[in-house]
């Protein structure tokens, strides 16, 4: 796997956050927690979509620890966590089937400025 945890540049994270912004949460982590069924569903979803939004329905207080476990178990990268929703990214293992092309380089030509 070429993408290691935390290896995204800031422009790449910004790009992925922008892609995930309007999308609803594709999965929810509920009362059963991190079960083998959860991981199987996560693997299927992230392999097909590459970018996955996860809502922590239960376990809101433990979301950071659970998110670290998900990253360690799946090889996905935590893009962002806002409130009770986390966004994960993992490129498709087959380069021919990748849907998301990350921007290259350390800087983008984005002329918008944050206030």
Asked if residue 18 has pLDDT above 70, the reply is: yes
Give residue-wise pLDDT tens across range 55-72. 998 877 888 999 999 999
Runs of H (alpha helix) within the chain: 10-21, 36-49, 63-74
Domains and CATH numbers, the chain: 10-91 (3.30.110.60)
pTM assigned to the model: 0.82
Residues forming beta bridges with residue 52, ordered by sequence position: 88
User: How would residue 16 be classed by pLDDT, with cut points 50, 70 and 90?
Assistant: very high
pLDDT value of residue 6: 54
Residues in the chain: 115
Digit-coded pLDDT (tens) for 28-52: 988 888 999 999 999 999 999 999 9
């Amino acid at each position: 796997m070429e993408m290691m945890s935390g290896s995204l540049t800031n422009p790449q994270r910004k790009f992925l956050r922008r892609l995930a912004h309007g999308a609803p949460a594709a999965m929810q982590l509920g009362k059963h927690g991190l079960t083998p069924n959860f991981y199987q569903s996560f693997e299927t979803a992230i392999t097909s979509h590459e970018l996955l939004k996860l809502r922590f329905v239960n376990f809101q207080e433990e979301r950071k620890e659970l998110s670290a476990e998900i990253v360690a178990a799946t090889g996905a990268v935590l893009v962002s966590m806002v409130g009770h929703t986390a966004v994960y990214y993992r490129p498709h293992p087959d380069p021919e089937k990748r849907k998301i092309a990350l921007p290259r380089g350390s800087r983008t030509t984005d002329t918008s400025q944050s206030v």
